């Protein structure tokens, strides 16, 4: 009698062992997941919080808005050199005048600057009218960024050229790293469990006092299918799958339609810095619709020919303009700013009526070698400006004068914003 219960206990204990192992498996998995999460939040927190957090935020914003089209925080060369270890290479006293006006530093005969300039084929770095503190903040951020664990992440959404905000890819990088470690740990545990299991069953097989019933259980072949029928394993797999789906959708959703920083390579290396900046050609000379129509329009090759039938004829880039005209094919400029069809935006309303400068929405175009989308172009962005911007232009316009008069009468003290003239009404922006 006593013997019998003992034996059933033994066979039962095998079952318990199996069950316990599976539970352990699930437990380790969840612990790892929590760690992975904690790690991502930690790095995110470090970037925004802590001492000098505000500076890093400023640095990050300026860096991403102005520098990432030409520089990476790694050693990788984009247009200019990778800025990894820049603070070891150069002093901040050298860097500040450099960022403000690199050409001036080069012209002053600074040996390092001249060599660098020659090495980069005399590519001219944009000048930035930043405060010293802002430049310090940029390098503080770059320094921090370059010291992070180098995790390569390919961002495939949006087709943007690697200028996606790096914080998103950082946390995504950590997630992938943790997921990789997790899988390895799981494989290891699985192997250990198999060894344990075979040891236990070997031990039981050597026992002679087993009933045939028990022997059957012990001799049972390890059944792969049975593992997948186990609810703990199924739960684990389902959890893993759900996490994967969650991650892909989150990545996708945060990038839908938002193309901030998008700066595609154009078919002809046309430079706004040269044309609109150095030669001060008016924006409206090329973007003929911008003061009078909905669309700014992109100039046709004929407009280029006004000058380039005599200027720089020999340049291979200019030859491309001739080729387009010869073949009667438009130059295939890649569109950068693009609102979805459901939204209505009118340039004349903003440039002409409201008197807003292009820079308000497009950034320092006059400094860009390659045009980059600076504004997010989301609904929130439009609305924010409409809430904050005071309508004061078009003062001589009778219609506006009367509007402002009426507004002042009823809302003394608070200036009339675009919101007050209906700038938040859905139908103004949506047909
Ligand atoms: C239009 C492209 C472009 C942009 C935008 C740009 N740079 Fe540069 N940068 C260059 C090039 C090219 C060089 C190499 C020197 C040269 O050719 O003038 C360079 C060199 C540098 C160097 C010296 C690197 C070294 O290895 O010593 C620093 C520092 C630097 N840039 C910082 C910045 C910062 C900060 C920003 C943003 C505020 C910025 N750059 C924006 C193109 C650019
Ligand atoms: C000599 C002609 C010329 C002048 C002057 C000019 N542009 Fe452009 N602009 C172009 C061409 C060509 C493109 C398309 C290629 C590109 O994106 O670089 C373009 C593209 C743009 C784009 C991006 C369009 C898109 O696809 O979303 C913006 C924004 C822009 N220009 C603004 C300006 C502003 C602001 C000025 C004045 C400071 C200006 N441009 C002056 C020729 C010109
Ligand atoms: C109002 C006159 C004017 C117009 C219009 C104009 N350009 Fe230019 N472009 C210039 C000048 C000036 C230069 C500088 C030439 C130099 O460096 O000697 C230049 C230089 C260039 C260069 C650099 C060539 C090289 O190899 O250095 C390119 C590319 C270019 N333009 C493309 C265009 C395109 C494309 C258009 C039409 C969208 C256009 N330009 C319209 C005046 C103009
Ligand atoms: C109030 C913000 C705002 C201002 C100010 C503004 N733009 Fe735009 N711009 C936009 C938006 C939004 C788009 C995208 C429009 C779309 O997709 O329908 C755009 C698109 C463009 C394009 C791409 C082609 C097109 O017509 O859609 C060009 C070129 C352009 N802007 C040039 C200019 C120039 C030049 C100025 C200054 C004279 C200017 N913009 C002022 C917001 C602005
Ligand atoms: C930089 C500030 C700014 C941004 C950004 C901006 N707007 Fe405006 N918008 C104005 C101002 C100022 C007016 C008032 C023009 C006037 O005096 O009638 C205006 C007027 C309008 C009007 C006419 C409203 C009315 O009651 O007549 C529409 C429509 C409009 N904006 C659409 C948009 C859309 C769509 C976007 C985003 C893609 C946008 N705006 C982004 C400043 C802005
Ligand atoms: C000042 C202009 C403006 C006003 C006012 C405005 N919208 Fe929008 N709305 C936009 C723009 C621009 C987009 C496209 C933004 C994008 O693609 O991220 C948009 C997108 C949307 C979308 C699609 C969202 C998506 O993610 O595709 C909806 C829905 C919407 N608006 C509803 C409304 C409603 C409802 C109101 C009134 C309470 C309103 N909008 C007022 C400019 C405006």
95 lines ligand 1 (CB under 6 A): yes
How many Å apart are CA 350 and CA 180, to the nearest integer? 50
- Both tokens of 383, joined, read 């609305």
For ligand 4, the distance from its centroid to the CA atom of residue 159, given in whole angstroms, is: 21
Q: Say whether pLDDT at 156 is over 70.
A: no
Ligand nearest to the CA of 338: 4
- pLDDT at position 49 is 37
CA of 174 to the centre of ligand 6 (A): 34
Query: pLDDT-based confidence at 253, cuts 50/70/90?
Result: low
- The ligand that comes nearest to the alpha carbon of residue 394 is 5
Query: pLDDT-derived band of residue 310, with 50, 70 and 90 as boundaries?
Result: confident
Closest CA to 352 of 399, 402, 394, 403: 394
Query: Stretch 135-164: mean pLDDT, rounded?
Result: 63
Q: Which atom of ligand 6 is nearest to the CA of 383?
A: 1
Give the atom of ligand 5 at the shortest distance from the alpha carbon of 389. Answer: 12
Torsional sign, CA 203, 208, 210, 212: positive
Over 50: is that where the pLDDT of 322 sits? Answer: yes
pTM exceeds 0.85, yes or no: no
| Res 239 pLDDT > 70 | yes
Query: Does pLDDT of 209 surpass 60?
Result: yes
- What's the whole-number average pLDDT of the chain? 78
From the CB of 372, is ligand 1 less than 6 Å away? no
- pLDDT over 90 for what percent of the chain? 35
State the CB neighbour count (10 A cutoff) for residue 177.
Answer: 16
Res. 201 pLDDT band, cuts 50 70 90: confident
Ligand 4 test: best mutation among 347, 387, 418, most atoms within 8 Å of CB? 347
Q: Quick count: other Cβ atoms within 10 Å of Cβ 210?
A: 18
Ligand 6 nearest-atom number relative to CA 257: 17
Ligand 1 contact, 174 CB (< 6 A): no
User: Distance between CA atoms of 86 and 384, rounded to whole angstroms?
Assistant: 37
Residue linked to tokens 């800025």 = 83
* Whether 281 contacts 275, CB under 8 Å: yes
Per-residue pLDDT for 192 more than 90? yes
State the pLDDT at residue 254: 58
* CA of 296 relative to ligand 4 center, distance in Å: 6
Q: What is the pLDDT of residue 412?
A: 66
Distance of CA 190 to the CA centre of its chain: 37
pLDDT of residue 80: 82
Mean pLDDT of 306-327: 91
Q: Which residues contact 313 (CB under 8 A, 6 or more apart)?
A: none
Q: Within 10 A of 347 (CB to CB), how many other CB atoms are there?
A: 20
Expressed in angstroms and rounded, the spacing between residue 275 Cα and the centre of ligand 3 is: 7
Ligand 6 midpoint to CA 429 (Å): 7
Summarised one tens digit per residue, pLDDT across range 334-344 is 999 999 989 99
366 lines ligand 2 (CB under 6 A): yes
Q: Ligand 1 in contact with 146 (CB < 6 A)?
A: no
Q: How far, in Å, is the centroid of ligand 5 from the Cα of 146?
A: 40
Q: Which of 265, 266, 286 is the pocket-test mutation for ligand 2 (most atoms within 8 Å of CB)?
A: 286
Average pLDDT of 398-416?
Answer: 73
**Atom 34 (ligand 4) nearest CA:** 358
Q: Which stretch of 218-227, 322-331, 370-379 has the lowest confidence by average pLDDT?
A: 218-227
State the average pLDDT over residues 187-197: 92
Among 127-131, 240-244, 331-335, which range has the highest average pLDDT? 331-335
- 3-state SS, residue 304: helix
| Closest atom of ligand 4 relative to the 351 alpha carbon | 5
Are the CB atoms for 399 and 416 separated by under 8 Å? no
Q: What is the pLDDT of residue 221?
A: 67
Residue 96 has pLDDT above 90, yes or no: yes
Cβ-contact 371, 287 below 8 angstroms: no
Q: For the ranges 37-51, 68-82, 173-187, 222-236, which has the lowest average pLDDT?
A: 37-51
Both tokens of residue 116? 């660098």
Measured distance CA(158)–CA(136) in Å, rounded: 31
Quick one: angle between helices 2-48 and 166-206, nearest 10? 170
Task: Calculate how far, in angstroms, residue 407's C-alpha sits from the geometric centre of ligand 6.
Answer: 26
Confidence check: pLDDT of 324 > 60: yes
Residue 389 CB-half CA count within 13 A: 20
8 Å CB contact between 166 and 145: yes
- The residue whose two tokens read 């807003």 is 356
Q: Tens of pLDDT along 345-400? A: 999 999 988 889 999 999 999 999 999 999 999 998 999 999 888 887 555 667 77
Q: Which atom of ligand 1 has the smallest separation from the CA of 369? A: 1
Is 298 near ligand 2, meaning CB less than 6 Å away? yes
Q: 366 CA to middle of ligand 2, Å? A: 9
Confidence at 161, pLDDT banded by 50, 70, 90: very low
CA of 393 to the centre of ligand 5 (A): 13
Q: How far, rounded to the nearest angstrom, does the alpha carbon of residue 47 sit from its chain's CA centroid?
A: 15
Contact 347, 289 (CB under 8 A): yes
Q: Among 9-13, 30-34, 350-354, name the most confident range.
A: 350-354
The pLDDT of residue 15 is 55
Q: Cβ(356) to ligand 2 under 6 A? A: no
Q: Which two tokens stand for residue 174?
A: 């950590």
Q: In angstroms, rounded to a whole number, what is the distance separating the alpha carbons of residues 344 and 430?
A: 6
Structural tokens at position 81: 């050199």
Is there an atom of ligand 2 within 6 Å of 374 CB?
no
Q: Look at 11-15, 114-118, 251-255, 393-397 and tell me which has the smallest mean pLDDT.
A: 11-15
Q: Which atom of ligand 4 is nearest to the CA of 356?
A: 5
Residue 66 Cβ < 6 Å to ligand 1: yes
User: Whole-angstrom Cα distance, residue 329 to residue 76?
Assistant: 37
């Amino acid at each position: 009698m006593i013997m019998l219960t003992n034996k059933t206990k033994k066979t039962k204990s095998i079952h318990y062992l199996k069950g316990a192992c599976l539970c352990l498996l699930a437990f380790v998995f969840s612990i790892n997941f929590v760690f992975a999460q904690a790690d991502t939040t930690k790095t995110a927190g470090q970037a925004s919080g802590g001492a000098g957090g505000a500076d890093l935020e400023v640095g990050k914003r300026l860096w991403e808005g102005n520098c990432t089209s030409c520089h990476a925080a790694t050693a990788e060369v984009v247009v200019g050199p990778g800025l990894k270890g820049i603070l070891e290479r150069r002093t901040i006293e050298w860097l500040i005048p450099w960022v403000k006006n690199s050409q001036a530093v080069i012209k002053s005969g600074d040996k390092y600057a001249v060599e660098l300039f020659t090495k980069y084929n005399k590519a001219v770095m944009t000048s930035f009218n930043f405060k010293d503190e802002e430049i310090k903040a940029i390098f503080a951020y770059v320094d921090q960024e370059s010291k992070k664990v180098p995790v390569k992440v390919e961002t495939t959404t949006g087709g943007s050229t690697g200028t996606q905000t790096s914080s998103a890819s950082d946390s995504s990088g950590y997630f992938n790293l943790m997921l990789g470690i997790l899988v390895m740990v799981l494989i290891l545990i699985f192997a250990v469990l198999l060894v344990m299991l075979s040891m236990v069953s070997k031990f039981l097989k050597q026992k002679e006092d087993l009933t045939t019933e028990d022997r059957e259980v012990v001799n049972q072949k390890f059944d792969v299918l049975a593992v997948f029928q186990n609810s703990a394993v199924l739960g684990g797999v389902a959890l893993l799958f759900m996490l994967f789906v969650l991650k892909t959708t989150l990545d996708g959703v945060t990038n839908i339609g938002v193309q901030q920083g998008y700066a595609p390579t154009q078919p002809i290396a046309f430079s706004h810095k040269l044309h609109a900046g150095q030669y001060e050609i008016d924006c409206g000379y090329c973007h003929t619709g911008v003061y009078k129509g909905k669309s700014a329009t992109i100039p046709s090759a004929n407009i280029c020919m006004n000058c380039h039938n005599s200027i720089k004829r020999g340049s291979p880039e200019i030859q491309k303009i001739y080729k387009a005209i010869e073949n009667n094919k438009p130059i295939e400029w890649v569109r950068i700013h693009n609102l979805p069809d459901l939204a209505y935006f009118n340039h004349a309303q903003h440039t002409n009526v409201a008197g807003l400068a292009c820079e308000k929405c497009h950034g320092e175009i006059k400094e860009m070698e390659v045009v980059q989308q600076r504004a997010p172009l989301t609904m929130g962005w439009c609305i924010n400006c409409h809430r904050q911007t005071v309508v004061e232009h078009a003062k001589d316009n009778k219609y506006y004068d009367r509007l402002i008069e009426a507004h002042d009468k009823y809302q003394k003290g608070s200036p009339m914003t675009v919101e007050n003239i209906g700038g938040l009404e859905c139908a103004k922006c949506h047909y």
